[in-house]
Copies of this chain bind each other. A is one copy, B any other.
Amino acid sequence: MKLVFIQTGGTIDKDYPNKTKGWAFEFGEPATNRILENLNPSFEFEVITACQKDSLEITDKDRQHLVELINSQNTNKFIITHGTDTMIETAIYLGSCMKDKLIIITGAMRPERFSNSDAAINLGCSIAAANLLEKGVFVTMNGIVKEHTAIGRNIETGKFY
């Protein structure tokens, strides 16, 4: 199995570089790198960056770029880390045009840099899903794995179901 992890930004990758002047919250290198270092994976993988954006700023142009990036890769299984606010929109967009690849989308409610983050658990979920599924577009958040047509989110609590 070979997995390609694609960074798009989102809470999971929010970091806090050493700078002055207020809320210096920025996107850093993919949190996926740090999580995979702890995992020591028994599968082949690559980590690439599509963009580094808050998901409220992700446009259909970014999504089209994702489609092209995925199609340019010489493999079939992808895990995309993504902000939670428009994760479902991106899943639906990709689901409408990517029929032959497996794409798992995940992210985090709290940055991976946080000691109480859900990033490592969510990425673990997406990795097991990539082991067991063959094609389609899925979301893994809050410990569930659902197709892009079935996943929902409670706007009040932020919880996916």
Indicate whether A80 reaches chain B with its CB closer than 8 angstroms: no
Contacts known (A121-B120, A122-B124, A128-B140); A16 close to B21, Cβ less than 8 A? no
With both beta carbons as reference points, the residue of chain B lying nearest to A55 in the complex is identified as B22
Q: From DSSP, what is the main secondary structure of chain A's interface residues? A: loop
In contact, A35 and B133 (Cβ under 8 angstroms): no
In contact, B18 and A157 (Cβ under 8 angstroms): yes
**Shortest distance from the beta carbon of A121 to any chain B beta carbon, whole Å:** 4
Partner of A113, one of B39, B116, B155: B116
Chain A, 107-161, CB within 8 A of any chain B CB: 109-111, 113-118, 120-129, 131-133, 140-145, 153, 155, 157-161
In contact, B161 and A16 (Cβ under 8 angstroms): no
**Shortest distance from the beta carbon of A86 to any chain B beta carbon, whole Å:** 10
Known: A11-B16, A16-B110, A25-B25. 17 other contacts (CB 8 A): A20-B84, A20-B153, A38-B116, A40-B159, A42-B143, A42-B144, A110-B113, A113-B114, A114-B115, A120-B120, A121-B121, A124-B124, A124-B125, A125-B125, A125-B127, A127-B128, A132-B132
The interface of chain A, by Cβ under 8 A from chain B, is 1, 11, 16, 18-23, 25, 35-43, 54, 56, 84-85, 109-111, 113-118, 120-129, 131-133, 140-145, 153, 155, 157-161
